[in-house]
Structure 1
Amino acid sequence: MNMFKISALAFLLLICQTVQPVSAQYILEMEKFEVPEDLLWTLGNDEGLDDPEERTSFFASLPESEYLRKAEAEGITLKKSISTIYVDGNNFAAESMALDEGKMTFIYLENGDIYMVMWNKKKVIKTSQEEINQMKKDATAMISQAQQNMPNMDALLSKYMTEEQKQQMQEAMNKLKGMGQGMPDQTPQEKPKVTIERPGTKRKLLGTEAELYIAKAGKKVEGIWAIDNDRALAAKFREMGENMTAAFEMEGLKEIKEWEIIPGKFPASKTTVEMGMRGGRLSVDVEYYTSIKRETPTADKFVPPGKDEGFTQGTLMDLMPGMNSAK
């Protein structure tokens, strides 16, 4: 299964956990990009930062505007993903445009129907919350079976690897085991302790004051610029986060819960910095909202295209390995 389909499946799994009844209507615009290595190198050298921990904290606290400014000054092109999110009561839709995947739309309706629209393929995948839940159960069962069939890793590590390689492999295995949390006969893996720093740094963002929070958990650091001018939006963010917890924890991925770090506030901008397993290469992802409007979306935003527009409809099976209908 290619990364496009994996991302689509992951998004569908999370949509079922995130959409909760809300009375407010919103239209939000967001941009995301991964910071290229050459831009990280330039920024780090400009600051004279050699210590890995200092570099990590610096990149996490750097506003998105600085990444954009420096990229333009250096002639570096950022591969952005641009999304528009629509919320109307219990209906939710997200339109996303990325250079490598084209346009995609995800729609979740209050009746439980879920649609994924792949515009460049003229394909609509229809599913439901019930089907997604069953798929999660099946995936959990597969992970459990795979763990039972694992070879004796301790023996393999001792025979073929150096001490450093053993440690790196063990970290990877622990993360895989963490995917089985919540299943029978599984021992939950201890997650890194989350520490929170509030340096008092503030700036204007989306026409209001934003404050910087730094959250650290293991090799991951998040710099969150929080705003508190819309309590309803903050409450919606908290509800979404709380319902996403189960899905993320099943995969052992969600150590930092932003809604707990900034209670009553909304993350208008976030930079996630993660150290590679070898303690070397950093990955830096930046996401930020460019517009938040309390506005009612038009009804057509929650209607998937059909035969009249030249689209065919498929099921989740079209995203599975060996299935060619979604290609």
Structure 2
Amino acid sequence: MSTVEPDDRLLRRLAEVRLRFAELDEQLADPAVFEDPARLRDLGQERAALEPAVREGTRLEGLLEELAGAREMAESTDGEMQELALEETRDLERRIEPLVEQVRELLLPRDPMDDRPAVVEIRAGTGGDEAGLFASDLLRLYTRYAERRGWKVELLTLSEGIPGAVKEAVLTVSGQGAFGALRYESGVHRVQRVPETESQGRIHTSAATVAVLPEAEEVDVAIDPGELRIDVFRSSGPGGQSVNTTDSAVRITHLPTGLVVSCQDEKSQHKNKAKAMKVLRSRLFDRALAERDAERAAERRSQVGSGDRSAKIRTYNFPQSRVTDHRIGLSVFNLDAVMDGDLDGFVRALRLAAQEERMEAEG
């Protein structure tokens, strides 16, 4: 068997998924299911999650049948027909190889958290104003990535520095697979470039931290109002006539843990409080998951690093137009495209690497 072809384990898994897909179709055709909205929704979501694997798996199996036929013809004919068959064999192998990897990824077991909205926190790290400018670039990067995927983005809070710079930004990204894709962005991101203010043309190194949490629902975390200290204050940022002239900004402190969340972007104190509570609930939820799961605890510790330049997961080298993810040793030379939201290559490689690590750990 050629190395481009799927192994028996992948084909068995594909057969299992196809069988489950057929079972879902049967259940969804049952009139009784339509009388149970919750079950109808759950079955529909499961079917939608399996459909891409079934579709691409069917395409893969069709190409494998064509490949077997082309190889048989190449062995049973001579001369010109044999050369044509060999060329068709090579063409099919080129098409099959990336499709095998795509199907392998689609068949990976999904984390129940993957489809949760993601709470993305971006903070400028070491590097002064340049770090704030880079944090702003990352905010645009994730916004553009979400737009490419058809996801919804809501900016919860924004603290700005010099014009064009961001001290801190918190946003939610909602859509199928949002947290599952963005979770791998957690960590310290390092940039190497010549700042606009650098007159000598020297390359500076700056950093920003990114933490990605699954958005928590109210049923996930019970918050006792008596354990909250809520302070209101006047917004210090730029805004309209009522943004920084009324006590609309809100700061919430969770007394048992010491977690502090503030929001001042809305004119309404009620809206600022609601946004701050959303972030606090997600942080508490992530904290609870981390306490129950050592792997999640390690992941969370890496997310909230100091922002030091040495503790990096990815480097963006502008002079060389190179982006390198240090966790998997992957470098690409299309920095402009990455900064415009083209993250699919990194997300795919990181997801596969994480799955392989889990499979090895589980034997």
Q: Same fold (TM over 0.5)?
A: no
The TM-score normalised by the length of structure 2 is 0.25
User: Greater strand share, 1 or 2?
Assistant: 1
Q: Which has the higher contact order (CA 8 A, sep 6+)?
A: 1
Structure with greater Cα Rg: 2
The TM-score normalised by the length of structure 1 is 0.27
User: Greater helix share, 1 or 2?
Assistant: 2
